[in-house]
Amino acid sequence: MSEILDLSHVRLADRPLIVCDVDDVVLDFAAPFQSFLHSEGHEFLPRSFRLTGNIISMRDKVAIEPLAVRKLIEAFFEAQEQWQSPTLKVAETLTALSADADVVFLTAMPPRYAEQRRRLLDKLHLPFPLIASEEPKGPIMRRLHAERSLPSVFIDDMAHNLHSVRDHMDDCLLLHMMPDSPLHKLAPRPEGNVLRASDWRHAESLIRAHIRRNSAPRAH
Ligand SMILES: [Mg+2]
């Protein structure tokens, strides 16, 4: 089943675009998800870069089935307002950047949990439009930015999302931001033209430099 993703709630002005992942970029995920697992009697063992096969029951130390893993992730998204907190300095940085650019959240979460996420982001002073979709991020960002010749920025903690956007966008600043988590230590590193931002302060300076460089009149 494939539906055309509705982007009509995202209104862009004639200015740079910053598209930003949510989990582990704007909201902590890895750490609170582990706390959530403990509360459910499970534990994540960082043996490889995947959740499936690495979540064990604390009772018998046996890895739980893929369907049960999926259900736990969904239960976490359902209850995200009780568990997830903002990453350091995210609200003040995005608020400052939003004076000069449009900020859009693109989260790879089942769309049925978008209401909970919207409420949580609003409560944390992050009122920017939210797109929840499990489809590849590159084509979605391309649809959003269309053929505009304005600077664009994409921020994510996952290499495959950065690669998807790299493959669909020209001249987009690709920023890799990730927490210091056991799962992320095992994650594949992004390849090619991707810059690593150590925190939101660093991200802001990289974004502002990119916007300055790419807003200048172009010589032919
Ligand atoms: Mg993420």
**Where does a domain end: 82, 100, 118?**
82
Q: Is 53 a member of any domain? A: yes
Strands of the sheet containing 172-176, edge to edge, are 130-132, 102-107, 17-20, 152-156, 172-176, 194-196
**Where does a domain end: 82, 107, 125?**
82
Same domain for 78 and 107, yes or no, is: no
**What band does 218 get if pLDDT is binned at 50, 70 and 90?**
low
Q: Is 11 a member of any domain? A: no
> Rounded to the nearest whole angstrom, what is the distance from the C-alpha of residue 7 to the centroid of ligand 1?
20
Instruction: Provide the residue range defining the domain that includes 194.
Output: 17-29+85-215
Rounded to whole angstroms, the Cα distance separating 210 from 153 reads 8
Three-state DSSP class for residue 144? helix
**What band does 4 get if pLDDT is binned at 50, 70 and 90?**
confident
> Rounded to the nearest whole angstrom, what is the distance from the C-alpha of residue 56 to the centroid of ligand 1?
22
Same domain for 118 and 129, yes or no, is: yes
**What band does 146 get if pLDDT is binned at 50, 70 and 90?**
confident
As a whole number, the mean pLDDT across the chain is 94
Of the candidates 139, 117, 102, which has an alpha carbon nearest to the alpha carbon of residue 29? 117
Query: Does 202 score more than 90 pLDDT?
Result: yes
> Rounded to the nearest whole angstrom, what is the distance from the C-alpha of residue 217 to the centroid of ligand 1?
34
pLDDT tens, position by position, 95-144: 999 999 999 999 999 999 999 999 999 999 999 999 999 999 999 999 99
